[in-house]
Amino acid sequence: MPTIPISKAKSEYDVIIVGSGAGGGQMAYTLTLAGIKCLMLEAGRSYDVVAETPMFQTGKDAPLGGSSTPDKNFGFFDATIDGGWEVPDEPYTQASDKAEEQFRWWRARMMGGRTNHWGRISLRNGPYDFKPYSRDGLGFDWPISYDDLEPYYTKVEKLIGVYGSNEGMENTPDSPTGVLQPPPKGRVGDLMIQKHGKKLGVPVIPIHRAVLTRPQDGKKLAPELHPDNPKAQKIVEESMSSRAACFWATDCGRGCSIRANYQSTTVHLPPALATGNLDIIPNAHVREVIVGKDGKAKGVLFIDKTTGKEERVKGKAVVLAASSGETVRILLNSASGDGIANSSGLVGKYIMDTVGSDMSGQIPALENLPAHNDDGAGGCHFYSPWWLYKEQKAGKLDFARGYHIEISGTRSMPKGNSPVPPHFLKGLYGTKLKEAARRYYGSFVHLACRGEMIPNEGSFAELDSEVKDKWGIPVMKWHWKWSEHELNMSAHAQKTFAGIFESAGGKGLFDAKRDPRKAILRGGEVIHEVGGALMGADAKKSVCNEWNQTWDVKNLILCDASPFASNSDKNPTETIMALAWRAADRLIEESRKGNL
Amino acid sequence: MNSQEQENRLPRRRVLQWFAAVAAAEGMALPAALAQATKPGATGYGQDPVMAKRYERGEVWPLTFTKSEKAAALALADMVFPKDDMGPAASEVRVAEFIDEWVSAPYPRQQGDRKAIIPGLKGLDEECRKHFQKNFAEASEEQKKAACDEMAKGNHFFNVFTALAAGAYYSDPRCWKALGYAGNVPIGGAFPGPPKEVLDQLGLVQTVE
């Protein structure tokens, strides 16, 4: 990816964008195609998705067969570079010694950020998800409604390419006709759970994921996305034509050198660069947003990690899209540590993750199946959207919000670990061992609860008063707390999963003595960190307005998930992009009025 | 019969007599001298290794098996995964080298497995010398089988070794057929989904056009 050193930076840009992931990528795309000059700062190194993606690599060729390590948390082939639960030069601290009160902060330091490895699950928030407080009196309402964001969900889906189906289910929005790409066929595990979930009233339908199942029709889509902008149409059409459809091999987490799935580095940044309106400086570790005496953002102060020197760049507006935790860190460290955009005192407050509670099950009917290629789209095909809205409304459940179920597992490529849980092979060797491995392989299905966490007073981040990173910048200190709602949701999911496996004639693999409420993953482990700079209708009770602009610094826009006022069970990425596109349109409008 | 039942049916004393050293490694009484005999001083591959290349075992950190550990691991791996109608022998797909790389890795999980593997391989040789006057690798097929049969009744080292060997063996594309993995090949057009015979066997109906 073409980048520039600081020495080649222009003296001033229209907009400085911090972060190159889903939010920063979308911002850069929308702004540069509209002719706005942008500088993007990325904290990690540049990345060449074509040369660096380990397509088709097998465990035979990788250290430890490609299995996960503290260096590569999701295995050797995971696209993440210089990232994970720990980033050596950039520590973070915990306020509590108790594991359940800690937040595990996952970061990526590379062009495109986490979008290179993410699960590609692209779900729209539904109408309820923008007004949770109005529905049950918990958390906060967003200052926008589903109708405000709907046009942008549609634009994003057209641009990135999302497969799925329209099922007309409650609070699970359909996309307009013709927008979604066709979903891939169900795999045995999907169809098995679909059939047996139905008996328990659990609906299972095709999931929505940002993977092309057929080539993108750039000729049709580009003019729809960019009417009256022939240059943008040409660039976007070319970009879309250069993407291939999925060839049903190589899981998406590795990244995709044929650009069949969405990652910022293959979908957002190439057309933005093609406009000639985008410069990117990599290895730029941002310390502060520079705010002038007039209260407006003037630029950004960062450390050039290649030299260790402090550098300054100027812009008429600044966009922070650095991830919730990083955006909070930058806001609090700005004004020499006094903080900015924080007259509400709410910067860093109400950070949320997704409730994760998983279970694998073994289903005897799936044993010894004829071998067949089950790789599919390199991620989920089917899922179960939340199905108990009515029961919840009637007060029949002991938690207030919903979860969806992601289905995976079955016949995936073995990579370093035993392809069958070792206790199924215990005491066997020789041909008998091979027969047992053959018998059990593919008989396991994994169900994952991904549910809504309600923002609470005990989950937040602040600056650590003592610990500093390699460059002397104060680091984040995390506080974490699950409420009864999340713990009870975990217990409900565990019970549901055990029931589904039983209904399929199988068995959930879990310790019967465990506390199902504690089967919840730790804070941060689903890597859906949102909140910390919530948007709202009242400047005293929120950090951003409905356009992602901070109330206090009008030309400072937050375009990661930090402005999320709630964290519905729907994975946050598509909403980040839709909000970023909407905020970018607003910026363009202001710029045309001469207000930048 | 599962392995737990098997273990319960056998006279516990006999199992303990056989492979006493190996059994010792299972519990708290880990022979420290054995476990620390060779400790890798390597560092990991870091957070930015080149992903799109083929690595040899021992390329990222040095292998640490001694000559005798290597010989025992090679011979045991071929007992665990012999050549048969289903697939190649462990030695053909370098399972022992994989395990060597594994226990030589500087990461906590692998270091934990090392505590079972290194004393276990030594204990295996010691027991074989006691019973057969030979190291495991030099023992006859029958003797190796007898040793494996004993360990299969319930032995921590054997379980760890078997699990690592399974991870190693099935990571090699030459062993995918034995498992029934048929992916990692590009397919043009729409994803075909499971074949009809599979759906019929399971009484499932494809619900996506």
ipTM for the whole complex: 0.95
Sequence-distant (6+) residues with CB within 8 A of A545 are A143, A535, A536, A537, A539, A551
Over residues A506-519, mean pLDDT: 95
- In the block, residue with structure tokens 């009770």: A541
Percent of chain A with pLDDT over 90: 99
Tokens coding B19:
């492979």
- In the block, residue with structure tokens 């500087």: B106
Per-residue H/E/C for chain B: CCHHHHHHHCCHHHHHHCCHHHHHHHCCCCCHHHHCCCCCCCCCCCCCCCCCCCCCCCCCCCCCCCHHHHHHHHHHHHHHCCCECCECCHHHHCHHHHHHHHHCCCCHHHHHHHHHHHHHHHHHHHHHHHHHCCCHHHCCHHHHHHHHHHHHCCCHHHHHHHHHHHHHHHHCHHHHHHHCECCCCCCCCCCCCCCHHHHHHHCCCCCCC
Per-residue H/E/C for B7-55: HHHCCHHHHHHCCHHHHHHHCCCCCHHHHCCCCCCCCCCCCCCCCCCCC
Sequence-distant (6+) residues with CB within 8 A of A582 are A148, A149, A152, A547, A548
pLDDT tier for residue B135 given thresholds of 50, 70 and 90: very high
Give the 3-state secondary structure of residue A508: strand
Mark yes or no for CB contact A374/B208 under 8 Å: no
Spatial CA neighbour of A588 closest among A134, A45, A167, A226: A226
pLDDT tier for residue A410 given thresholds of 50, 70 and 90: confident
Mark yes or no for CB contact B209/A376 under 8 Å: no
Contact A353, A52 (CB under 8 A): no
What is the pTM (predicted TM-score) of this model? 0.94
For residue A246, the Cα-to-chain-centroid distance in whole angstroms is: 21
- In the block, residue with structure tokens 């276990």: B120
Give the 3-state secondary structure of residue A91: coil
Residue of A51, A58, A420 with shortest CB distance to B184: A58
Query: Which of A188, A191, A195, A305 should one mutate to test binding to chain B, selecting the residue with the greatest count of B CBs within 10 A?
Result: A191
Over residues A444-454, mean pLDDT: 98
Contact A463, A95 (CB under 8 A): no
Count of all residues that appear for chain A in the document: 596
Over residues A500-519, mean pLDDT: 96
Predicted confidence (pLDDT) per residue in A27-65, tens digit: 999 999 999 999 999 999 999 999 999 999 999 999 999
| C-alpha separations of B35 from A232, B32, B38, B96, B118 in Å | 64, 5, 7, 18, 6
Tokens coding A109:
């330091």
Check residue A595 and give its pLDDT: 85
Check residue B41 and give its pLDDT: 53
Contact A321, A27 (CB under 8 A): yes
Spatial CA neighbour of A45 closest among B162, B46, B42: B46
Mark yes or no for CB contact A420/B166 under 8 Å: yes
Spatial CA neighbour of B122 closest among B36, B14, B7, B10: B36
Over residues B11-15, mean pLDDT: 37
Tokens coding A343:
């007259």
Predicted confidence (pLDDT) per residue in A266-312, tens digit: 999 999 999 999 999 999 999 999 999 999 999 999 999 999 999 99
Query: CA-CA-CA-CA torsion for A555, A596, A227, A579, nearest 10 degrees?
Result: 0
- Does pLDDT of B33 surpass 80? no
Size of interface A-B (CB pairs under 8 A): 254
Mark yes or no for CB contact B45/A67 under 8 Å: no
- In the block, residue with structure tokens 């720990």: A86
Predicted confidence (pLDDT) per residue in A203-244, tens digit: 999 999 999 999 999 999 999 999 999 999 999 999 999 999
Domain limits of chain A?
184-206+355-451+483-519
Mark yes or no for CB contact B49/A413 under 8 Å: no
* Partners of residue B51 in chain A, C-beta under 8 Å: 52-54, 57, 76-77, 254
* Partners of residue A106 in chain B, C-beta under 8 Å: none
The dotted CATH code for A184-206+355-451+483-519 is 3.30.410
Computed over its alpha carbons, how large is the radius of gyration of chain B?
Answer: 20
Contact A174, A212 (CB under 8 A): no
Mark yes or no for CB contact B178/A62 under 8 Å: no
Check residue B26 and give its pLDDT: 41
* pLDDT, averaged across chain A: 97
